[in-house]
Amino acid sequence: MATVMGDEIDVLAKAKRAIAGDYVPSEGEDYMNETQLDYYRRLLNAWKQSILSASAGTLQSLQDGPIREPDLNDRASSETDWGIELRTRDRQRKLISKIDSALRRIEDGEYGWCEVTGEPIGLGRLSARPIATMTVEAQEAHERREKISRDD
């Protein structure tokens, strides 16, 4: 069974293939120009549609009826699989809200800029994680502070 993070990466890769064309953002152009913003807007929308399609399949399977495995071990395995699937869908529901937030930042002209430092997040990071809101350095500092707070 695929991991939740692996599933998220697969869905993003599927979205990238869906919008594949001749254009890929590059460092040689002005940062967050109209073409780049359009690329990320299309990527985020394709990613969201991919997640919604997968969710519709899960919902349909749930509506088809309860698990009817005659063997108790098979039934337990099926219920465990459903639990994992539902947790994955809940995680993706939260991801959709982050995608919507990124789309709003595109419209507001804030996409691609770190919310902490105001510096460019970078095309590499945005290609790997289009919903990123901080540079790698700011994210690492945030996670260190979070860890220290938890340890106290």
Q: For 51-62, how does the pLDDT look when each residue is reduced to its tens digit (9 = 90+)? A: 888 777 666 666
Q: How far is CA 88 from the centre of its chain?
A: 12
Cα gap 10→51, rounded to integer Å: 11
Per-residue pLDDT for 35 more than 50? yes
Written as six digits, the tokens of 15 are 């979205």
Which whole number is the average pLDDT over 71-96?
81
CATH number of 4-112: 1.20.120.910
- The residue among 74 and 148 whose pLDDT is bigger is 148
Contact criterion met (CB below 8 Å) for 80 and 1: no
